[in-house]
Amino acid sequence: MGPGAGAGGALGGGLTFGHSYDTLNRRTEQTVTDTDWWCLPLSSASTMAYEANELDQYTEIGAVTPDYDDNGNLTDDGTFAYGYDAENRLTEIANGGGTVAEYAWDARGRRKSMTVGADITIYVTDAEDRVVLKYDSTTGDLPRWTVHGPGLDDTLAVMDLDADTREPLVPDIQGSTVATLASATGTLTKLGYLPFGENPAFTTDGTRYTGRLLDAATAGRAAQPSGLSTTGRGCTPRRSDGSSSPTPSGWREGRTCMPMLVTILSI
What is the residue-wise DSSP string for 104-154? EE-TTS-EEEEEETTEEEEEEE-TTS-EEEEEETTT----EEEEE-SSTT-
Q: At a CB cut-off of 8 Å and minimum separation 6, what does 186 contact?
A: none
Across the strands, what pairs with 61? Answer: 50, 64
Sorted by where each begins, the domain ranges of the chain are 6-248
Residue-level pLDDT at 99: 94
Question: Which residue type occupies 30?
Answer: Q
Q: At a CB cut-off of 8 Å and minimum separation 6, what does 137 contact?
A: 113, 120, 121, 122
**Dihedral of the alpha carbons of 191, 132, 147, 218, in degrees to the nearest 10:** 0
Number of alpha helices (DSSP H) and beta strands (DSSP E) in the chain: 0, 22
The span from the CA of 258 to the CA of 31, in Å, is 21
112, 129 Cβ separation under 8 angstroms: no
Q: String of b and e for 2-32 (b: at least 16 CB within 10 Å)?
A: bbbbeebeeeeeebebebeeeeeebbeebeb
pTM score of the predicted model: 0.58
- For the chain, 267 residues long, give each residue's pLDDT as a single digit of tens: 444 444 333 344 577 878 888 888 887 887 888 777 777 555 555 567 788 898 888 898 778 889 999 999 999 887 889 999 999 999 999 998 899 999 999 988 888 899 988 889 888 888 888 888 888 887 777 767 888 888 777 888 888 777 788 889 888 878 888 888 888 888 888 887 776 676 766 656 677 878 777 766 665 544 444 333 333 232 333 333 333 333 222 223 333 333 322 332 333
Q: At a CB cut-off of 8 Å and minimum separation 6, what does 93 contact?
A: 80, 81, 82, 83, 99, 100, 101, 102, 215, 217, 218, 221
The span from the CA of 174 to the CA of 201, in Å, is 21
- Of 244, 225, 228, 208, the C-alpha closest to 2 is 208
Residue-level pLDDT at 70: 92
